[in-house]
Amino acid sequence: IGQVYAVRLWTGEDVVVKVVRPGTEIIFEQDIEILTDMAAWAAQHTALGKLYNLPVLIEEFAHTIRAEFDYISEARNVESFARNFETDPSIYIPKIFWDQTTRHVITLERVAGVKINDLAGLDAAGIDRREVAENLMHFALRQIFEFGLYHADPHAGNFFVQPDASLAVIDFGMVGRLNQHLKRTFLGVALAIERKDTD
């Protein structure tokens, strides 16, 4: 969807600029049209299609990806996470440069660090892996149980480990939200795991 560039602004800040690739929205919509037709056919003619509601899955997929084309929405997500973790020294969310952000261009403070899955790099930097793991779990648990707003694309490329084992987190194009009922359900599951209560 996007191309990412390392840039220095005229004002001197080092930033990352992500730009929607020209023409990708058109290609995506054509692909979704094809997938929608295939899902409708499968729902009528295959056992798998009858078992799963494939058209609804395609709709949900399309909705999620369409949101990734809107960098204003992503910038708002970044600001929500920044507010949620502003007093948390274990998590860093980069700053948005709103004057250089549009629906198809997002400009963020450039962050660096060791990739979270670069074990040799973590060891070479003298960073305690256990502390990194604790910070990552802390990030996940606060999102689910406290805020009900979570990063829905948490692959290793989106986490940069800092020298103090804190995490700089990037790429908030996909986020999810949990209502109070789901938060309570997850809490019940977590408590059951802790108590070894399979029922």
Catalytic residue numbers read 153
- Cα separation of 3 and 20, whole Å? 6
CB 135 within 8 A of CB 85: no
CB 101 within 8 A of CB 72: yes
Structure tokens belonging to residue 154: 């948490």
Burial 120-141 (b: 16+ CB within 10 A, else e): eebeeeebeeeebeebbeebee
